[in-house]
Amino acid sequence: MSADELYMLRCLELASLGAGYVSPNPMVGAVIVADGKIIGEGYHQHYGEAHAEVNAIHNVLSQYPNAEALLQRSTMYVSLEPCAHFGKTPPCSDLILKYQIPKVVIGSRDPYAEVNGKGISKLQATGIEVIEGVLKQECLNLNKRFFTRIAKQRPYIILKWAQTADGYFAPEQGQHWISSESAKILTHRWRSEEDAVLVGYRTALSDDPQLNVRAWTGRNPKRIVIDRNLSLPKSLHLFDQSQETLVFNAFKTEIDQQIKYLELENFDTLLPQSICYQLYLMDVQSLIIEGGAQTLELFIKAGLWDEARVFTGSEIWAKGIKSPKLDAKTAEKHHIGTDVLTIYHREI
């Protein structure tokens, strides 16, 4: 691995620390190197706050009395193209120009229309050397949620379920826990990393899920439930006002403290498409769909999914509700407690 790749790898490590906190912005990390030594690091920590490049430069300024001279002979590594427009914060490219950093190494371009190539052009126009495409695929993969939202105008969609060894999703009546405690903890970690988690009417009614991260440390996602006729009892955990909850229905749009009722018209024909577009408009960048089987199948049939995470337990039932079927190749397999976690990626 080259020196450029090693520094970019550090950018990616830093960027990942922003998971769950920067959406709908991308995760970005930056490293500043002078005389073969890292002199500053930074990452985008919270949406609306300073970007990675700003934090890295300020890190240098706070440590070295000769910081400006160091910056003038340094190289900045950044996992995503520096912005060139005013958004929540000033353009990062302007700060790079201000401190006369002579070389910038970029992992991938930013596909957002206000940035795409403009940050690079702005730097090059003043004589700054720009190298792009270092660990490009790794940088693209880190921000697949951001890139999906920009390109497809919908959230990055993760399907998640547990199934028995013989492929059953749930018993015909009642409920029965399939996966292990380790799988539960991992699921709560996943929730902390994504913007929202969705369940259908039957899952809400039969399982009464809380859809929070009580088994992990992190922020709770938005909770989403499909309740066409607004018939779910208000005694369910989903209506406890403990976190933001969206209720997609066919009758009203209304806000009740943390509960937001959103009326949709196309329940019979374009329900998953309507949900995805509404979430896009609300800056929801990623979504986990946790059930039930009909809700998962609805999104699978519509081709609206990007990744599936399936826990397979050791029990054999021989009857019950069959698990959803995917037309996809296995990407990864892991052992989680007593379960096997299989991760699929949708082929386009």
Catalytic residues: 53
- C-alpha 281/C-alpha 302 separation (Å) is 19
Does an H or E element contain 151, and which?
A: helix 144-152
Q: Is 308 exposed, middle or buried (0-12, 13-18, 19+ CB in 10 A)?
A: buried
The crossing angle, in degrees rounded to 10, of helices 52-63 and 3-15 is 110
Residue 38's nearest CA partner among 29, 25, 51 is 29
Query: What three-state secondary structure class fits 140?
Result: helix
Which residues touch 254 (CB under 8 Å, ≥6 apart)?
Answer: 260, 261
Radius of gyration of the chain (CA): 23
Q: Pseudo-torsion of CA 81, 86, 88, 93, nearest 10°?
A: 40
- C-alpha 257/C-alpha 216 separation (Å) is 25
Q: Which string of DSSP letters, residue by residue, matches 186-242?
A: HHHHHHHHSSEEEE-HHHHHHH----S-TTSSSPPPEEEEE-TTS-S-TTSGGGSSS
Residue 154's nearest CA partner among 324, 304, 348 is 304
Number of neighbouring beta carbons within 10 Å of residue 90: 14
104 phi, psi to nearest 5 deg: -130, 130
Q: With contact defined as beta carbons under 8 Å apart, do 192 and 198 qualify? A: no
Bridge partners (DSSP) listed for residue 61: none
- C-alpha 94/C-alpha 238 separation (Å) is 45
Q: Which string of DSSP letters, residue by residue, matches 43-62?
A: E--STTS--HHHHHHHHHHH
